[in-house]
Structure 1
């Protein structure tokens, strides 16, 4: 499946619009007029698209019999409405659904695996004869459908389609020339009248952009809309012909603008159904002022008084000024480009100047020298300007400059865009073209002097709306989602394929500093490294953040990336707390045996020197028995407090402390091998513990004894030291201290 832009639904809508334009021209516009020829050529898009989808429908249908029955039923239903509208032109010939039915039958026969080739040829020949005699388009739909079905690729299909169309046109020209001489047909055509049929080849252009999608899920509306719309629109057009009688050009002119206004209103409704985003806001503004402009133009062309023309003109110019500002806003949001506030300020200043000049033109002539009504223009008086002022000329230059700026922005954006974004830009370019096309048509005098700038607006609105609706996933996060993200504690940055920032919530600015929408993410410190190196975590300002990058994928294209940022500082602090809690004694708050043993083994493995000290409460069992376990616990906590204070008492050595179990505690003084210093240290611990008990009102209930083992460089000779060996030696030293009267200390060599 390719991704060239247009779905089946969009192509069918285009075909229906082309059909209505074509039939409107048949009913109300002079066939050979420039406008009539343009409308008929545009109408030629319908048959190629419909023939293409008959071939596609046959290829994908799961119930061919129902498909044929449905088409046959509505071909019959369309006979009467078609005849009412076209009987003067087509007489007994049939409608397009009848032609498509014949084409479907021909394809069914040609693709049959059972019928002999001769039988197939005869049956298809019969269908050709029927189409030749009563078909609306005489065998061409059959040929087109067969080409679209059997062509191996689009290039082959297009080549054969063009060949068949040219052969048909040459054959028709030959028959016209022969008929002019021998008069064998009642259709008294000339060659110039039939050249518009070459417009069939233009149908290949939208088909080239078909993305291969089968469309929405089947439902009654999708299945029967065209079949019902086809006869229905003939009845509506016939009723209009009956009601208006001898319709004049002015009526068509007004009716066309009313239709344009309705189309713009419909597109506004469509835009409002799209998920809210800043791009939707921009397009909504564009649509509102487009509607206002068309309404002002309608007021101008339907009034007979200068005052009414003036009011309509003021409304138009106001809408135009706002349209250009909205167009700039649309380009910013749809092209993902930050436009300077100076540009918007300049547009506002120009808009104020234009409106001021318009409201005061009678006093200063800045906009117009004068406005009059030309009552000699027939039954439809027209506005006539008597000289344009400098403000009008400035507005024309300004209008051109805004559109040129938008084109430049689009081209610049396209340089770094992926294929999907380029398709969006293509629709925006179409919008620019159709906005200016009416002025080109006026210059070429194709509208008999009628001004039709408002007729370009709804088509521009359609293209802008498609660029929003079809590619809305390229826009910033929807406003509702964005508001929710701003209230969360997770950072989000969305970038497009050119690493321009489409969205970020406020929280990330507290991490990376100030940056703005459409800035280059690679220009923001740290962000470039995160995106390029796919870092899993970063540390900034004492905080630890987890980062996760996810691709934005749409229609098999990576359209950008989302960076999620989560502050894990509290999480890590909690883990550290949990880890610390698992390593510490719950009663005393100092480290437990596991932690102490692990660190002592680590120190010994690195062959460092120091002293291993075991501390024990004297007569601790008596304390529990005499004073209770609560007092016993207090005595243990008091010793832990003394040991913690000892850890902070010296900057010379690093002291590790731990509770081994019961009333048994240990310390390791890393780096200390000076016996005198160790003696003083031991005495200090004994006296400090006595003082701590006094503070706790437990004076004299117990005391501590210490066993000390020194670890020197010689301790590592010819022996493997570990925690257990030191513990055993210190325990023996402690035993000696107890033997010597307690509340003292003893040294023991390893």
Structure 2
């Protein structure tokens, strides 16, 4: 074999392999520390082999500085990265390794830097030495053999500890293969060294054998990576995410049959023979089931991707979900991935909040005793009518005998009397009338679009006539209802509620002065 063929097989070909390995490992997952360290390991091997090629082929006159200041540091960096990678792969990287890794990198470089400072370059490496002897100074040779052999054995020890501690069968298999490859490479290096020391092989031949063994180890490492995908294990990662997901995830075929459920979904629907049918149990608000919607897809209907579903589970009441559905691509059959987020508590909180808001609005706009509009609500209703320039009549009612009922029968009876009056007003009012209590024994009615002014008194009298015909019963006592009412109109009798109340109050007191128990329309 000529020199060019030897250089290609031992230097150039491994360099191409290391470059390819470095790029693919880094691109595969640059965020993974495993991949970053493995990529740097390949780059350091690439740099070492390229230095050998440059030294022996291109710039032989610079052989000494290339060996001392490029090849040797790259070799030390390679074995240090090997230790680092084994710590990561074996899972033994702990607080102890946090200070161990800097020592792994620092110790060989410190000793080598000491040799460079202490000795002349020519004494450390003499390329003119031949006859089977090493051109390296004995101290550098001892340093190289000690650290290369020691670090390879340390890597074997680290992988062995990780293999003994691991309970994952897949990881144990990976560590076994890595151990076997490292032991094989170490044994090969020992054999080549023995052959060199006994003069069976020359120094160039031994270097070719060293490089060939290293190349075979890298190729074996690549096969392990491809076969077991441990840098990183995406399938294991996604399986872990699927199993530990906080939401229910269900995998269904196009007929709605469950193919797989995560533990959260199994907790909701059960598992085994007693499991509920999710596609049949999950319902939309219109009462249709998820399976019915999936069957509609056969006719070309576009599947609903997001929405709300609910299910009634025995013993747990109604459970409500937000769902998101995705068609799973790249599989032999059409599969649907259903993500369910339990929003039962959120929905219950929303309902309670809506009820609380409704109660608040009821308290803020209605009289607590009678349930009629209070003064603030009457103001809002009147403002709304006035903003729309809508004609309306205001009827102000004052009870003539309320004080006597309170004084004679007590305040409880007085409250009951007011409730009786409000019930009578509801019965007598029209569908669009707005009833309110201003306070005490004063009531008000807003009548949108009333009859003409000359007919207004008759219309109000017809509305309030039944009020005087329904006496209040307390015990054996029947108390007749007597009231005085004043009527004003918008906009003829006022342009604000205050003006309309003042006009109606003036008309009402006209009735009071004329003997009470009557109705009067304000005359501007």
- 2:517 equivalent in structure 1: 743
* 1:597, distance to aligned residue in structure 2 (A): 1.4
SS of 2:450 mapped into structure 1: coil
Q: Which of 670, 673, 678 matches 2:456?
A: 678
- 1:78 equivalent in structure 2: none
* 1:476, distance to aligned residue in structure 2 (A): 5.8
- 1:646 equivalent in structure 2: 428
SS of 1:586 mapped into structure 2: coil
Alpha-carbon distance in structure 2 between the residues aligned to 1:620 and 1:687: 18
> Given that residues 278 and 476 in structure 1 are in contact (C-alpha distance below 8 angstroms), is that contact kept between their aligned partners in structure 2?
no
Residues 193 and 212 of structure 1: CA distance in aligned 2, closer, same or farther (over 3 Å): closer
> Given that residues 5 and 211 in structure 1 are in contact (C-alpha distance below 8 angstroms), is that contact kept between their aligned partners in structure 2?
no
Alpha-carbon distance in structure 2 between the residues aligned to 1:65 and 1:729: 90
Structure 2's unaligned 5+ residue stretches are 1-25, 38-76, 126-135, 155-184, 271-277, 309-319, 325-336
Query: Is 2:442 the partner of 1:664?
Result: yes
* 1:547, distance to aligned residue in structure 2 (A): 7.2
Query: Is 2:361 the partner of 1:579?
Result: yes
- 1:106 equivalent in structure 2: 108
Q: Which of 599, 617, 623 matches 2:381?
A: 599
- Spell out the pairing of 1:373-452 with structure 2 (5 A cutoff): none
> Given that residues 642 and 685 in structure 1 are in contact (C-alpha distance below 8 angstroms), is that contact kept between their aligned partners in structure 2?
no
- 2:175 equivalent in structure 1: none
Alpha-carbon distance in structure 1 between the residues aligned to 2:201 and 2:339: 69
Query: Is 2:484 the partner of 1:710?
Result: no
SS of 2:505 mapped into structure 1: helix
Residues 580 and 507 of structure 1: CA distance in aligned 2, closer, same or farther (over 3 Å): farther
- 1:160 equivalent in structure 2: none
- 1:478 equivalent in structure 2: 263
> Given that residues 3 and 210 in structure 1 are in contact (C-alpha distance below 8 angstroms), is that contact kept between their aligned partners in structure 2?
no
Q: Deviations over 1:555-614 (max 9, x none)?
A: xxxx99875644334542442133113211111121111111111122112211011100
- 1:52 equivalent in structure 2: 81
* 1:737, distance to aligned residue in structure 2 (A): 1.1
* 1:727, distance to aligned residue in structure 2 (A): 0.7
Query: Is 2:407 the partner of 1:625?
Result: yes
> Given that residues 611 and 673 in structure 1 are in contact (C-alpha distance below 8 angstroms), is that contact kept between their aligned partners in structure 2?
no
Q: How many residues align?
A: 357
SS of 2:460 mapped into structure 1: helix
Q: Deviations over 1:301-343 (max 9, x none)?
A: xxxxxxxxxxxxxxxxxxxxxxxxxxxxxxx98xx56376999
Query: Is 2:367 the partner of 1:338?
Result: no
Residues 61 and 586 of structure 1: CA distance in aligned 2, closer, same or farther (over 3 Å): closer
Residues 630 and 125 of structure 1: CA distance in aligned 2, closer, same or farther (over 3 Å): farther
Structure 1's unaligned 5+ residue stretches are 13-47, 72-100, 143-167, 214-269, 280-331, 345-474, 487-502, 531-544, 550-558
* 1:728, distance to aligned residue in structure 2 (A): 0.7
- Spell out the pairing of 1:7-86 with structure 2 (5 A cutoff): 52-55=81-84, 67=100
Alpha-carbon distance in structure 2 between the residues aligned to 1:620 and 1:738: 14
SS of 1:741 mapped into structure 2: coil
Alpha-carbon distance in structure 2 between the residues aligned to 1:482 and 1:604: 61
SS of 1:129 mapped into structure 2: helix
Residues 642 and 626 of structure 1: CA distance in aligned 2, closer, same or farther (over 3 Å): same
Residues 699 and 687 of structure 1: CA distance in aligned 2, closer, same or farther (over 3 Å): farther
- 2:166 equivalent in structure 1: none
- Spell out the pairing of 1:534-549 with structure 2 (5 A cutoff): none
* 1:4, distance to aligned residue in structure 2 (A): 2.3
- 1:534 equivalent in structure 2: none
Residues 546 and 702 of structure 1: CA distance in aligned 2, closer, same or farther (over 3 Å): farther
Residues 57 and 602 of structure 1: CA distance in aligned 2, closer, same or farther (over 3 Å): same
Q: Deviations over 1:146-204 (max 9, x none)?
A: xxxxxxxxxxxxxxxxxxxxxx9xx99xx89x97x96369xx99x99996653222335
- 1:183 equivalent in structure 2: 200
> Given that residues 623 and 632 in structure 1 are in contact (C-alpha distance below 8 angstroms), is that contact kept between their aligned partners in structure 2?
yes
Query: Is 2:508 the partner of 1:734?
Result: yes
Alpha-carbon distance in structure 2 between the residues aligned to 1:612 and 1:129: 113
Taking structure 2 as the reference length, the TM-score comes to 0.51
Alpha-carbon distance in structure 2 between the residues aligned to 1:646 and 1:338: 64
Residues 687 and 68 of structure 1: CA distance in aligned 2, closer, same or farther (over 3 Å): closer
- 1:200 equivalent in structure 2: 217
> Given that residues 504 and 522 in structure 2 are in contact (C-alpha distance below 8 angstroms), is that contact kept between their aligned partners in structure 1?
yes
> Given that residues 428 and 464 in structure 2 are in contact (C-alpha distance below 8 angstroms), is that contact kept between their aligned partners in structure 1?
no
* 1:629, distance to aligned residue in structure 2 (A): 2.0
* 1:671, distance to aligned residue in structure 2 (A): 0.6
* 1:515, distance to aligned residue in structure 2 (A): 2.6
> Given that residues 433 and 448 in structure 2 are in contact (C-alpha distance below 8 angstroms), is that contact kept between their aligned partners in structure 1?
yes
Q: Deviations over 1:79-105 (max 9, x none)?
A: xxxxxxxxxxxxxxxxxxxxxx7x873
Residues 601 and 698 of structure 1: CA distance in aligned 2, closer, same or farther (over 3 Å): farther
Residues 5 and 11 of structure 1: CA distance in aligned 2, closer, same or farther (over 3 Å): closer
**Bigger strand share:** 2
Alpha-carbon distance in structure 2 between the residues aligned to 1:688 and 1:624: 23
SS of 1:699 mapped into structure 2: strand
> Given that residues 610 and 671 in structure 1 are in contact (C-alpha distance below 8 angstroms), is that contact kept between their aligned partners in structure 2?
yes
* 1:67, distance to aligned residue in structure 2 (A): 2.8
Alpha-carbon distance in structure 2 between the residues aligned to 1:546 and 1:710: 54
* 1:689, distance to aligned residue in structure 2 (A): 2.1
Query: Is 2:396 the partner of 1:614?
Result: yes
- 1:554 equivalent in structure 2: none
Q: Which of 129, 137, 140 matches 2:141?
A: 129
* 1:528, distance to aligned residue in structure 2 (A): 4.3
SS of 2:360 mapped into structure 1: helix
- 2:290 equivalent in structure 1: 515
Larger Rg: 2
Alpha-carbon distance in structure 2 between the residues aligned to 1:204 and 1:676: 104
> Given that residues 382 and 497 in structure 2 are in contact (C-alpha distance below 8 angstroms), is that contact kept between their aligned partners in structure 1?
yes
* 1:133, distance to aligned residue in structure 2 (A): 5.9
- Spell out the pairing of 1:345-356 with structure 2 (5 A cutoff): none
> Given that residues 131 and 138 in structure 1 are in contact (C-alpha distance below 8 angstroms), is that contact kept between their aligned partners in structure 2?
no
> Given that residues 457 and 520 in structure 2 are in contact (C-alpha distance below 8 angstroms), is that contact kept between their aligned partners in structure 1?
no
Q: Which of 475, 496, 505 matches 1:722?
A: 496
Alpha-carbon distance in structure 2 between the residues aligned to 1:616 and 1:125: 121
* 1:478, distance to aligned residue in structure 2 (A): 2.8
